[in-house]
Structure 1
């Protein structure tokens, strides 16, 4: 093990795409076992991130609100308020203003360093090393430069398995034709995935693969893992940029960006939420049950990964290098203890593991807004159908055929659309079972 201790907390992590963060109210997010509150002062262009505890009685500030008059973050328990730097600005119960003035430093909320870049909000989760944070660069992808030729979309989802399992999975391209058959791959076209290690040390792992595409896979500890794929004679490029966030034991979050330097118009035509429910979420669903249970199998064994895993082919080289980094240069344990010491509960039911609503829809601005619109449309179609029946019923016989019939036909068509929205589209935002044998 490297004598230099790897500190998970002294690195930059993306919380979510800026577009998915709520500016009118505080939001809760967990990183490295710490509950954080994310909020945006009304007169600021940037979000703030605090430890999610009011210093008064430790109530969660994420359940608070942004005061309309002061623009400060208010705790909903007793109304204490905090400015954008975390300083307490109001104690409603104070009999004397001197209480706040003389003990102001004792009433602060812990504020964490933040930055915004590449459309993401970044946080440095260690409040004791703010000076170090200013010297450490963000783990940004060189694929997302200022070139107008590059377009990209984003995705965030909480996952029902640990950070280590998430990194392993993203580092493994050979599972795609099988785990994602019919979504992003085809099991009948699976081929060997030759890999060559270009670089592997404490700071970076880089591998080149000459499979279907010429790909470069790069892992920058502890969370940045990306693919750069080239194909065609005209230098077309696809990018998969992922940030694998440790959340808590058996939980992780993926913040992903998907870039390309072609088909720019198509990128703008397809709604973000449509892409999420038809491709991004199904891909993550395809892994979820497998990895949730795989993780428990590994934990239950008393042996190391070297003997538990059987990895004889080059396709597993990136996984091997990641595990070697973890043993050689990584932390001796995760922030909440060694994975093998965790007392996981038994595997959850499929609806919980594949809970799209709480894992994604609720925190994705595009999907949550689309869901609201779909539900309102359903209500409108129901009302229209009832009105069509009522109007037709009260029409005189001479008008019922020429006026009432069109109402009934359009009402029935609307009822059919309602059924499709209710039973086919709306469930895509909540839960879709992913049964591999049926695919």
Structure 2
């Protein structure tokens, strides 16, 4: 079957702009393609190249932005490329003509990019830049200051495939159970009368009315969002997710959480605190069984269809069914890995290592400027508190008897308090940036 949907000729948000470092290149994978994000020194916008130097195919993401030229330098042999991907410098060239006469042959593949709604967008097909220029970004109407909305952003790499991510986000009925105590309550699980309003190649839309009025929109291949209205005064919250296919068994979620009330909370609550306390915890809640679920489905699909492998009897399952039908009808039930030279096995290997599946540092912290900065601060505070403890106790021990009570006692008390804070930072807060096991049986 020939796919009717072209995954490459679409816009994808690679990352929140605030999480990108303008001083150094950032590697990222999309649709099996290794990319590098970088910012020319005197340019206001980021660029996205294929992550390989044309000289000897070294990864440009291991390179640097040259201080003098502002171009991207390959750290293997020093070749440099400007923001258009044109080679500007070859240190080994005996004659300048080697560079000037081979610009087309020595250039790096450049992808169309845009910056909008605080996100860096890339068009995944470098050979259709004119089409990219004429294709609107899949922006959310909820990311709009003029309509009174505020939002925060989040990114995480996931240990399951794109279709599993879309299917999971499109399923509101799992929330009270998979996210019990975080965003739901298993005692309040109930029927969800989902109605499919529209379904075609470019859009799936569903609605349901309950305590809240909710609209769910899927704009293939990546935008999947919830608009939730409650109360009579127009209050609204939203979940805007962009689901990125990374490689077989891997995906990335770029999410924006919106609301049009309690706007000051965005300035009061640190972004990193929201990530370690809620956002990561939500994704931890279903990561293990989604990783295993998709591999069990792949096993079953060797002999039967998803229609019989799954049992989907309720209205709450309608959007999952509609997405699976879309995926089968317009994409042949598979992603275009073969177009980038990736051979996907019928069944992906299952990982039993919980630390690997729930590795917050590799999946999120290293990508998030807020969490990475907070982790550095936590470690600095630990070092400072330990130094203070040692100095305070040592000072109290050598004080003369006359000063031991007046000065020594406060020093000891503050040192012990600092030691308690150190222990909390070291054993309670710091692990939240690395790994937190999620055992549903322990969630009372």
TM-score (norm 2): 0.96
Give 3-state SS (helix, strand or coil) of 1:128's partner: coil
Alignment CA distance shift 1:98-1:279 (3 Å): same
- Distance (whole Å) between structure 2 residues aligned to residue 331 and residue 231 of structure 1: 39
C-alpha contact 1:177 1:184 (8 A) present in aligned 2: yes
C-alpha contact 1:28 1:38 (8 A) present in aligned 2: yes
Query: Within 5 Å, which residues of 2 pair with 1:346-361?
Result: 346-361=350-365
- Distance (whole Å) between structure 2 residues aligned to residue 341 and residue 317 of structure 1: 29
1:5 Cα deviation from its structure 2 partner: 2.9
1:148 Cα deviation from its structure 2 partner: 5.7
Q: Give per-residue Cα distances to partners, 1:37-82, cap 9 Å, x unaligned.
A: 0001121110000000000000000000111111111101111111
- Distance (whole Å) between structure 2 residues aligned to residue 127 and residue 378 of structure 1: 47
1:346 Cα deviation from its structure 2 partner: 2.8
Residue of structure 2 equivalent to 1:185: 184
Q: Give per-residue Cα distances to partners, 1:108-141, cap 9 Å, x unaligned.
A: 0000000000000000011111111011100001
In structure 2, which of residues 352, 372, 377 is the aligned counterpart of residue 373 of structure 1?
Answer: 377
Give 3-state SS (helix, strand or coil) of 1:29's partner: strand
Q: Give per-residue Cα distances to partners, 1:360-387, cap 9 Å, x unaligned.
A: 0000001000000010000000000000
Query: Within 5 Å, which residues of 2 pair with 1:3-402?
Result: 5-147=4-146, 149-301=148-300, 302=302, 303-331=304-332, 333-337=334-338, 341-402=345-406
- Distance (whole Å) between structure 2 residues aligned to residue 330 and residue 235 of structure 1: 38
1:404 Cα deviation from its structure 2 partner: 1.1
- Distance (whole Å) between structure 2 residues aligned to residue 342 and residue 121 of structure 1: 33
C-alpha contact 2:49 2:85 (8 A) present in aligned 1: yes
The answer on 1:426 being equivalent to 2:430 is yes
Give 3-state SS (helix, strand or coil) of 1:255's partner: strand
Gapped regions of structure 2 (runs ≥ 5):
none
Give 3-state SS (helix, strand or coil) of 2:227's partner: strand
- Distance (whole Å) between structure 1 residues aligned to residue 364 and residue 10 of structure 2: 24
C-alpha contact 2:5 2:201 (8 A) present in aligned 1: no
Aligned length: 438
Which shifted more, 28-37 or 210-219?
Answer: 210-219
Gapped regions of structure 1 (runs ≥ 5):
none
Alignment CA distance shift 1:89-1:343 (3 Å): farther
Alignment CA distance shift 1:380-1:180 (3 Å): same
1:396 Cα deviation from its structure 2 partner: 1.4
Give 3-state SS (helix, strand or coil) of 2:155's partner: strand
1:341 Cα deviation from its structure 2 partner: 4.0
- Distance (whole Å) between structure 2 residues aligned to residue 201 and residue 285 of structure 1: 32
1:100 Cα deviation from its structure 2 partner: 0.7
Q: Give per-residue Cα distances to partners, 1:282-308, cap 9 Å, x unaligned.
A: 000001001000011001112111010
Give 3-state SS (helix, strand or coil) of 1:219's partner: strand
Q: Give per-residue Cα distances to partners, 1:193-231, cap 9 Å, x unaligned.
A: 001111011110000111331100010111110000000
1:348 Cα deviation from its structure 2 partner: 3.7
Alignment CA distance shift 1:172-1:339 (3 Å): farther
C-alpha contact 1:172 1:319 (8 A) present in aligned 2: yes
- Distance (whole Å) between structure 2 residues aligned to residue 89 and residue 415 of structure 1: 55
- Distance (whole Å) between structure 2 residues aligned to residue 95 and residue 304 of structure 1: 62
- Distance (whole Å) between structure 2 residues aligned to residue 406 and residue 346 of structure 1: 56
Which shifted more, 386-395 or 3-12?
Answer: 3-12
1:390 Cα deviation from its structure 2 partner: 1.6
Segments ≥4 residues shifted beyond 3 Å: 337-343
- Distance (whole Å) between structure 2 residues aligned to residue 115 and residue 326 of structure 1: 27
- Distance (whole Å) between structure 2 residues aligned to residue 91 and residue 28 of structure 1: 23
Q: Give per-residue Cα distances to partners, 1:243-265, cap 9 Å, x unaligned.
A: 00000000000000010011111
1:233 Cα deviation from its structure 2 partner: 1.1
C-alpha contact 1:7 1:331 (8 A) present in aligned 2: no
- Distance (whole Å) between structure 1 residues aligned to residue 85 and residue 344 of structure 2: 37
C-alpha contact 1:299 1:340 (8 A) present in aligned 2: no
